[in-house]
Structure 1
Amino acid sequence: MKKIIIFITLLLSISTNAQIKLPRLISDGMVLQRDTKVKIWGWASAKEKIELTFDNKTYKAITNAEGKWLVVLPSQKAGGPYEMTLKASNTIVLKNILFGDVWICSGQSNMELPMGRLKDKYKEVIAKSENANIRQFLVPDQYYFANEKEDFTAGEWISANPVSVLQFSGVAYFFALEIYEKYKIPIGLINSALGGSPAESWISEENVKKFPDYYQEFLKYKDGTLEKQIDENDRKISQEWYKLANNSDEGLKNNWKNSDLDDSNWKTMNVPGYWADNELGNVNGVVWFRKEFTIPKVQENIAKFILGRIVDADSVYVNNHFVGTTSYLYPPRIYSFNSNLLKEGKNEISVRVINNSGKGGFVLDKPYELVLGNDTLDLKGSWKYQLGAKMLPLPAQTFVRWKPVGLYNEMIAPLKNYSIKGVLWYQGESSTKKPSEYYALMETLITNWRVQWQQPKLPFLYVQLTNFMDPKTEPVESNWAALRQQQLNTLKVPNTGMAVTIDLGEWNDIHPLNKYDVGKRLALQARKKVYGEKNLVASGPIFKAIEQKESKLILSFSDVGSGLMVKDNGELKSFAIAGNDGHFVWANAIIKDDKVIVWSDAVIDPFKVRYAWADNPVEANLYNKENLPASPFEANLETKQ
């Protein structure tokens, strides 16, 4: 009897192992690349016969000794939906398949940022987003160092509609919308991006060897031991810090969210603002804020607090009722709640802010208001505040997920068999610490990916860093400007295109909300460089050449379109020049015959020129007449483009 049970178990095991298993990408609703051969692959038992039926044709394969199989389908025109049947010991039917153009959308948080974060800005766009021909596959945010993964742990193809589109990358969705409306071709977006990631985390082990420091850093994590130790230690430190903050918080102990609390002895400060700039000083920990506001009449409606951004985490209460929380500093604070929590007359909002390092408080130049129906109540101005718990700063985390190679192995390598049209890339903020190496990193990454996909001319379209941080009144050095120059230099790599966004940023937010124009400018690059609209003006002016005439520099540009212009017809700004001493001063600048002439009485023999060379060059106003901004740049009389 025991032998029979063992035999049956063995048969069941063999039968189970023999069944076809498909990668997550090969699934219902997938978008396959048109006009090229397409690979369909998966796993089964060794030497298993696989049959794939598509479009009334059958294709056969036999798995290798490792149980892997692959079928190559001939080129197909755009269209669908289709079905595909796979047979071995089991049968799988894949439905709702489209052929169109597939784009990898990668980089860091500005690519990852979903439409859900933009829902207040683009309400009408989201409401009209029903479109079965625009689809996204969201790759899980994971990393791995030991080797290249063959599949993802999760993920599915979803088509755009007012609910699902909230998960789509904002930049990628607006790109897809532009391309689809122009060509009516199904668009598949593979969203493989992770906030905060530097370029080296997206490069393979073999290719990162070109950068010895990064390669040695990668080797430390390859066996997983150090990674586990660091993650456990970081987690323990964080948990203990927040536990102590909560246990020490006088506000939690004494219910400072209570609308009847006597706060007459609390200090006051203006919101928005940072408490380090007020009497409390530069302390970390928990600070409570309260403000009384009056409503003449409560409407039956959904109310909404819009509280800009808060550093770092917050919990919000109205009249002693919890209405929302955010655990980190970047997302906009938008908290919807039922208006029955409000009352006619006086009301009280309480905000518990936890700041673990740096300056805590309310980010400037953001909206702080209560929206009730069609009415808006401004909440800026004087608030009362009280320190709940004073803490030492939380020690910095290691962020193992950003280490070299890890994201490539987990989030890019499993894509290598999937035919694609091109790559959309938005990354660079996390690489500004070492801008001088960025060109070499990107040239390596682009080559690496082209070899992986076996497409030597794979289009690679990327976004240049936007404007960010405080503006400066004098010419200064800037890592952000230096990184933009490296991105400009990357145009030397064939089949690349760059979307200039120097006018789309927000000085106080590394995640500017205008993702429509970013997607549109990437789409312009694609239309010209990928879809063949050769006469299309797809870029603003790009520096081309420099010459000296007496004490003036004459600058030439490509991509002038219908001609150079000054935005808003003002005075041309943001040019600076220097002699051999490298000391830059603001320069006069004019447009003449689609060239820019720059000079300064302070520099008799100019040698170098910079345009929009700052973290946030607020007066960068050189455009072409197609209303596309010029790229920031640095050049000297020896510069060759």
Structure 2
Amino acid sequence: MRLLRVLPAALLLATTTLASALFAEVKVPPIFSDHMVLQRDMAAPVWGTAEPGEEVVVSIDGQSHTTKAGDDGKWSLKLKPLKAGGPHVLSIKGSSEIDLQDVLVGDVWVGSGQSNMAGGVGGYAKGDEVLAELAAGTYPQLRFCRGKGGKWQESNPKTNPGFSAILFAFGQQLQKDLDVPVGLVLGAVGGTPSGRWLTDEMLANNPHTKDYQAANGGDLYKQHIQPVVPYGIRGVLWDQGESGTAIKGLDQFTTMGALIGGWRDVWGQGEFPFLYVQKPSGGGCAWDKSNPTNRMAEDFTELPAKPQQGNAGEYRAHHVGIMKHPSTAMVTARDLGSGIHPRNKSGYGHRAAQVAMGFAYGKDVEIYGPIYASHKIEGNKIVVKFNHVGSGLASKHGDGLQGFAIAGKDGTYHWAQAIIDGDTVVVSSPDVPQPVSVQYAWDKNSPWANLFNNDGLPALTFRASE
């Protein structure tokens, strides 16, 4: 009996000793490592664990900050904003000391989604000669990290093959254009729906999704993204959509609204830029296939005998709509090459960098082709007005502009004659004397649709009616 009375006390002592040992040393998450990139021009968070009540001092580039670990052993603080540059040493001192070497300051982007984000440079370089050439290079100002327990790596011919192909191409181009260090954090899993990349709390906090639950409890978010929150970032590049949402009753537009808003809430950085790659991939012709970015686009073809009457273009048009969420932009992929897993990862990454430069950094570069803005009916014609006309609307290939169809009250679409007039396109058909609706590039794939702006970017699919 005496042994039974003593045992709980011994267990309590052992448990206390173990807990103390766990926090005896100052520790930080794996994302804080040698070769890391800290986000420039913001109060970048640093956090970790230590002995409860222990004083922790964090220093870098002449600044020093002090905090204490709470009763749970956790501590956190924020650095004063740093300018791009380095290398620096990030020193973290308590009862023990961590000195992280070769720390750069620049822009940090998170890449997430499914297989087209997860697929590695090594695999895709076999069918993408541009990517292969890039992968053979060394880029001292470009760094990689995996969100699930990974540490930072420098970009070189040995590390490049093991990283995300699209994220590598994106970051390499971005670093070249910005001339500042760029850090890339990867959290992506092939074949996954968007509903596993957000939590029940994120759904509950969105008025359009509050009655739904995350697929698998948001397991992928918790495994791959949560470990790096609230690490300072510049934005997110998302490539997912083929696997839908896996949340019954919720479409991709609505789910992505909750995901984007939810990620921004937990990060606490406001509305950072969220870029996403257009789905389905490819399906259209390009302005100029001699451009390396567009070399795998579909060849231009003649019109099919009849336009699509059903919903074949609905998903493509619906996916375009995700850009309506705040501070969200789409990476147009219609002219980059088709397939569930497009081989042209260099082109996709470089197009994403172009969008980032115009959308996130405010550079004077067009990021979209013509986008439907409005229309009006004038007798037997429909006048369609476009945004993002860039340096002007233009047709490319063939004998004239094609890909538009109009319908009357019977809902049957007929191919239309289309004429560019300033920032509008005037469409008509002798078969539709009283038109009520218009569509463009309305199909899963539409290599026959040839409206662009003079910046070389393709018009986006749409259908509109009275």
User: Is 1:111–1:170's contact at 8 Å kept on the other side of the alignment?
Assistant: yes
How many Å separate the matches in 1 of 2:249 and 2:376? 27
Return the offset for 1:473: 5.7
Alignment of 1:184-333 (within 5 A): 184-209=179-204, 210-211=208-209, 214-215=212-213, 218=214
Structure 1 residues 413, 511: closer, same or farther in 2, change over 3 A?
Answer: same
Question: Are 1:49 and 2:44 counterparts?
Answer: no
Map Cα deviations across residues 224-272 of structure 1 (whole Å, 9 max, x no partner): xxxxxxxxxxxxxxxxxxxxxxxxxxxxxxxxxxxxxxxxxxxxxxxxx
How many Å separate the matches in 1 of 2:269 and 2:312? 31
What residue number does 2:263 align with? Answer: 449
How many Å separate the matches in 2 of 1:91 and 1:630? 56
What residue number does 2:437 align with? Answer: 608
What letter corresponds to residue 458 of structure 1 in structure 2?
Answer: F
User: Is 2:309–2:413's contact at 8 Å kept on the other side of the alignment?
Assistant: no
Return the offset for 1:94: 0.8
Greater strand proportion? 1
Map Cα deviations across residues 342-390 of structure 1 (whole Å, 9 max, x no partner): xxxxxxxxxxxxxxxxxxxxxxxxxxxxxxxxxxxxxxxxxxxxxxxxx
Query: What TM-score do you get using the length of structure 2 for normalisation?
Result: 0.85
Q: Equivalent pairs: percent with the same residue?
A: 36
How many Å separate the matches in 1 of 2:61 and 2:24? 25
User: Is 2:195–2:245's contact at 8 Å kept on the other side of the alignment?
Assistant: no
SS at match of 2:251: helix
User: Is 2:316–2:444's contact at 8 Å kept on the other side of the alignment?
Assistant: no
Match of 2:278 among 442, 461, 464: 464
Q: Which runs of 5+ in 1 are unaligned?
A: 140-151, 219-401
Higher mean Cα deviation, 122-131 or 617-626? 122-131
Match of 1:108 among 105, 110, 114: 114
How many Å separate the matches in 2 of 1:62 and 1:479? 59
Return the offset for 1:8: 11
What letter corresponds to residue 476 of structure 1 in structure 2?
Answer: Q
Structure 1 residues 577, 175: closer, same or farther in 2, change over 3 A?
Answer: same
Alignment of 1:16-31 (within 5 A): 16-31=22-37
Return the offset for 1:98: 0.7
Higher mean Cα deviation, 120-129 or 163-172? 120-129
Map Cα deviations across residues 159-194 of structure 1 (whole Å, 9 max, x no partner): 211221112222222221222111211111111122
How many Å separate the matches in 2 of 1:459 and 1:199? 18
Map Cα deviations across residues 308-339 of structure 1 (whole Å, 9 max, x no partner): xxxxxxxxxxxxxxxxxxxxxxxxxxxxxxxx
What letter corresponds to residue 374 of structure 2 in structure 1?
Answer: A
Map Cα deviations across residues 125-158 of structure 1 (whole Å, 9 max, x no partner): 235420121111123xxxxxxxxxxxx4x31111
Map Cα deviations across residues 491-532 of structure 1 (whole Å, 9 max, x no partner): 3223222121112232xx311111222222222222122212
How many Å separate the matches in 2 of 1:436 and 1:478? 22
How many Å separate the matches in 1 of 2:412 and 2:59? 69
What residue number does 1:482 align with? Answer: 314
Higher mean Cα deviation, 510-519 or 423-432? 423-432
Return the offset for 1:484: 2.5
Higher mean Cα deviation, 438-447 or 582-591? 582-591
Match of 1:521 among 351, 363, 378: 351
Match of 1:565 among 385, 394, 402: 394
User: Is 1:200–1:208's contact at 8 Å kept on the other side of the alignment?
Assistant: no
Return the offset for 1:11: 6.5
User: Is 1:477–1:614's contact at 8 Å kept on the other side of the alignment?
Assistant: no
Return the offset for 1:570: 3.5
User: Is 1:501–1:518's contact at 8 Å kept on the other side of the alignment?
Assistant: yes
Alignment of 1:79-90 (within 5 A): 79-90=85-96
User: Is 1:136–1:157's contact at 8 Å kept on the other side of the alignment?
Assistant: yes
User: Is 1:577–1:610's contact at 8 Å kept on the other side of the alignment?
Assistant: yes
SS at match of 2:313: helix
Return the offset for 1:51: 2.0
What residue number does 2:238 align with? Answer: 425
What residue number does 1:494 align with? Answer: 326
Instruction: Return structure 1 stretches of 4+ with deviation > 6 angstroms.
Output: 5-13, 432-436, 469-472, 477-480
Which of 1 and 2 has greater Rg?
1
Query: What TM-score do you get using the length of structure 1 for normalisation?
Result: 0.63
How many Å separate the matches in 1 of 2:22 and 2:226? 27
Return the offset for 1:468: 5.4
RMSD (Å), alpha carbons: 2.9
Question: Are 1:585 and 2:424 counterparts?
Answer: no
Structure 1 residues 619, 211: closer, same or farther in 2, change over 3 A?
Answer: same
What letter corresponds to residue 467 of structure 1 in structure 2?
Answer: G
What letter corresponds to residue 496 of structure 1 in structure 2?
Answer: T
Match of 2:448 among 619, 624, 630: 619
Q: Which runs of 5+ in 2 are unaligned?
A: 1-9, 285-297
Return the offset for 1:35: 0.3
What letter corresponds to residue 72 of structure 2 in structure 1?
Answer: E
How many Å separate the matches in 1 of 2:382 and 2:14? 86
Count of residue correspondences: 434
